[in-house]
Every structure is written in C-alpha cells, then in structure tokens.
Amino acid sequence: MENKINTSFILRKSKIRQDGKSPIIMRMTINKEIVDISTGMKVEEKGWCNKKDCAKGSGYDANRINKALGELKVKVFKIFDELNYKGVFITGELLKQYLKGNVSIDKKLIGTFKEFINVEEVKFARGASNKGKDTLRHYKSSLRKLEDFLASSNKASISLNNLTENFLVEYGNYMAYTEGLSHNTVQNHLKKLKTVLSSAFKNGVMKQNIFASHVFTYKEPETAYLEDAELKILEEMEFGKEYLGMARDFFLFCCRTGLSFCDLETVHQAYIKKMPNCDWEWVVGCRGKTGEQFTVPLFSDAKMIIEKYKNHPVSLSRGTFFPIPSLKNYNKYLKIVAEECGISKNISSHVARHTFATKLFSLGISREAIGKMLGHKSVKTTQVYAKVVPLKIINEMQTLFELEGGLLKNVS
C-alpha cells in the first residue's frame, strides 16, 4: 500500500486554560488514521485563523508561533519521506515516536542491509529502481558474504555506529584470505556495502561515513573467451543428459548474440525486428541491467536455437524463447559441459558475452559498433574486449604479407 499523509493545525477548545488560550494541535491523517500531536504552543481563540491554520497578525508572538509550526510541519514530512523511501508502512504511532525521538537510530548492520535490498526490490517492482534483477541478486549474495563474516567474528549484532574503518580492513581480509576471493570480487562486495552505508548516512541513521577515505582499486581482469575450435567442440558434442545440451545451446546463442543471462531470460518474439535495406533479422531490446538498448544481428545459427526451444512448454508458459534455469544452476551445468568437452577454461554465462565481443573485435568491428550491440553506455566499457587476440594478429600479419609480396623483410 502506498503511504499517504495530510496535516493541519487546530485548537483544542475543550481545554481552554485560565489564561484564555487553547493548545495548538497538529492533526495528521496517515493512511486514513487520524493522529493528534501536541505542538506545545498555545494561542487565544480570537488570535487563530482556522481557514489558514495559523496565528493571526504579524506581531512577534504570531510570527514566532507560525515559524515554529512551519518547522514542525517540515520535520514531519521529512521523517515521513524517509520512512516512505525505505518502504515502511507508516502508522500514526510510529510517526509520533519518531517525532518524540523515541526511535533508536542505532540500527544493526545486517538489518540495514536487508532493509536496503527490500526497498530496492519494491522500487524495482514499481519500475522506479536503477538496479536491475541481476544487480539485486548480487546484493543478496553480498549480504550472505557479510553475514558469514560477522558470524565468524562474533559480530552478528554489530550496529552501524560501532563500525570503523578497521572493520572494512577486517572484512576485506576475511574475503581475500579466508574465502579466497579475487581482489576485484572483494572490491565489488565492499562497494555494495558502501552503497548501503552511504544510504544510511544520508538518511541520518549513521553518524559517520566510514567509507569517506576508502579508495577502491581494481586489477585488469583476464577476460576468458572461447576460440573457434572450442566452440566447434561444444556444437558437435552429444550429451547424455538433456539439461546439459540445453545449457550448451543457450550458451552458444549468447556467443552468437552477446546477450547477458538476464536478457536471455526475457527475450521473446517482440525483440525480433526487421531493418530497412537489410536481408536478416535483428534482436533489439533494452538491457535489464542498465536499460540501455542493444541491437544485434540474428544470423541462422542463433535463429535455429530459437526455433528449437520457442515451443518448449516452459517457454510457452513464460512467453519467452528459452526455458532458462536459474543462474546458479545454469553456471553449474556449464562447468559440467566444459568438463565433458575437455575445455579447461572456467565457463560461465558471462564468458559467452566475452566470446561474442572478442570475436567481433578480432574481425575488425569497431568498438562503437560492438558497444551498441552489447548495450554498453560507454565505449570505455567495451575497452575490456579490445585486447590483441591471436586471430587479429594473424589477420593483420596476412595483410602485411600481401603488401610485401608474400615475404616479410628480415628486420634485425
């Protein structure tokens, strides 16, 4: 339910004091619940304007009262907006407790992390979040990692205001040395924690931003991709179990189109477009992760995979082309597929996307075109694929041979 609030100021006439003044009450209607809160101020009945909810006149007392009432109203709406942002269903009693300062802001770390995810999931469901389905899944994974660390160090109930910069060092060391995570993976988990804590700091429930002086560092990753020979092995392999063959087919489709897992899950007939002056169809859609449009040619090998699965019962029930398993199972199946094919590389869903981009780059396709096909916001994102690969070296050396009449000059 969407939270709603209306406020007004009234006089409580039944409690007229000996001095002839009545207490001013703030009346709030919150989700159809009426709640009265004392403002601590009084005014004579003849000095009150019911129509404008304020003290009459421009004298010192009237100005003082009206200024205080205005500040109180601003405070109420600020608290209301903060609670509403967090996805809390607000009651009159809850708001009264916040106004009185009876609600502790010394919140627990794990509870804050869970609350952040819940709020983003609500916003995602409403189409108002800048975090996609996969991103939220990564936040949940990061939460589990944090819970493991806190449990191992007897800090499960640690509160936000007991966190220090040394906590970040301990957490980073735990992930690197106890869990054996790579440097970049550790940085990614810390970055998600920073997002959560920065939100808490911004909302006033955390006194210090412990990430203020923290510097994130990243190492250039070795991007795994499959060579043509490895792709041929995948294509020709016969698997004894149907789910392995399906995982292989979905992986090959992504190798031919560059789609990420979350986009593979949703691709359907409306994604298929015809372009002017073009003999083939295209896959056109918006990335679930960033909202950026991707535009990819749909060649025969990828189209054959669509035809193979579009009438599968699960595909029909979902209204999509493919009966995709969960990401966890999909990656697990791909590891078995690689093992049965004798491929030593650590294959995952994202390797297909890397394979697509690297292949295009090796064939001389521009970074701008590759970025458009992948749905990248910036060419800088595409830069990771712009590596020198053997096929590109061969192509460029072949050009040199042709220029030199088939003979390379011996350069000492």
With residue 9 as reference, give the H or E element that holds it. Answer: strand 5-11
Q: How confident is the model at residue 406 (pLDDT cuts 50, 70, 90)?
A: very low
User: Which numeric CATH code is attached to 109-202?
Assistant: 1.10.150
- For the chain, how long is the longest CA-to-CA vector? 112
148, amino acid identity: D
Q: Where are the domains of the chain?
A: 5-100, 109-202, 229-396
pLDDT digits (tens, 9 = 90+) for 22-70: 888 888 888 778 888 888 888 888 888 888 888 888 888 889 988 988 8
Give the 3-state DSSP-derived string for 124-189, with helices as H, strands as E and coil as C. Answer: HHCCCCCCCHHHHHHHHHHHHHHHHHHHHCCCCCCEHHHCCHHHHHHHHHHHHHHCCCCHHHHHHH
301 pLDDT above the threshold of 80:
yes
CB 170 within 8 A of CB 153: yes
Give dist(CA 250, CA 163) in Å, integer: 44
pLDDT digits (tens, 9 = 90+) for 121-140: 877 777 767 777 778 888 99
pLDDT score at 312: 93
Which CATH number applies to 229-396: 2.30.30.40, 1.10.443.10, 3.40.1260.10, 2.102.10.10? 1.10.443.10
Give dist(CA 9, CA 199) in Å, integer: 33
Give dist(CA 83, CA 85) in Å, integer: 5
